[in-house]
Amino acid sequence: MKLNLILFSLLIIFALVKINAHHLYRVNHHSLEIEKRKTIELKDEQNQLLIQESSKSGNGRISEYAKSKLKMNPPEKKQKRMVK
């Protein structure tokens, strides 16, 4: 009778441990999914920034800014001097 009681208690304990382990697995899995989603979002952001960087560092844009805002113009032939 005593042995049966002990075995029954053990059964209950292991069942609870199993349920808890499964629950923890699901919680961790959910966290992992959130991290994966963040990774994708960061990757998207990185792509976005790379595109922005490429657009903003474009030679066309730079030369336009140089001409219009900084008043930089390539020197004319008369202004050039060849240095040996």
Partner 1 sequence: MRKKIKKNHEFFELSKFRRRFMLLVLLTLFFILFSRAFFLQGMQKDFLQKEGFERSNRNIKLYAYRGKIYDRNNQILAASETVRSITLEPNRVKFKNGDKKKLANLLGIKIKSLNKKLKTKKNHIYLKRKVDLEIASKILALQISGISTEKDYRRSYPDQEISAHVVGFAGNDGNGLEGVEYKKNDYLSGTQGYKTILIDRRGRVVDNLSEVRVPVDGKDVHLTIDKRLQHIAFQSLKKTINDSEAISGSAILIDSKTGEILTMVNYPSFNPNERMRKRSPFVKNRVITDAFEPGSTLKPISIAAALEKKVVSVNTKIDTGNGFYKVGRTQITDTKPHGIISVKEILQTSSNIGVTKIAEKLSKKYLWQTYSNFGIGNLTGVNFPGESKGVMRDYSLWKERDHFSASYGYSVSTTIAQLARAYTPFANKGEIKNLRLYKGDPTKIGQRVLSIKTSEAVLKIMESVTEEGGTAIQASIPGYRVAGKTGTARQFIKGVGYGKPGERKYNASFVGIAPASNPKFIMAITIEDPSKGSNYGGVVAGPIFRRVVSEALKIYSIPQDGIEIKAEIDNDKKEI
Residues near partner 1, by CB under 8 A? 25-26, 29-30, 33, 40, 43-44, 47-48, 50-51, 53-55, 57-60, 78, 80-82, 84
| Shortest separation between residue 13's beta carbon and partner 1, angstroms | 24
Decide whether 7 or 44 has the Cβ nearer to partner 1. Answer: 44
Distance in Å, CB of 15 to partner 1, minimum? 19
- Specify the residue, 9 or 46, whose C-beta has the smaller distance to partner 1: 46
Judge contact between 72 and 66, C-beta under 8 A: yes
CA atoms within 13 A on the CB side of 21: 6
Residues in the chain: 84
* Contact (Cβ atoms closer than 8 angstroms) between residue 34 and residue 26: no
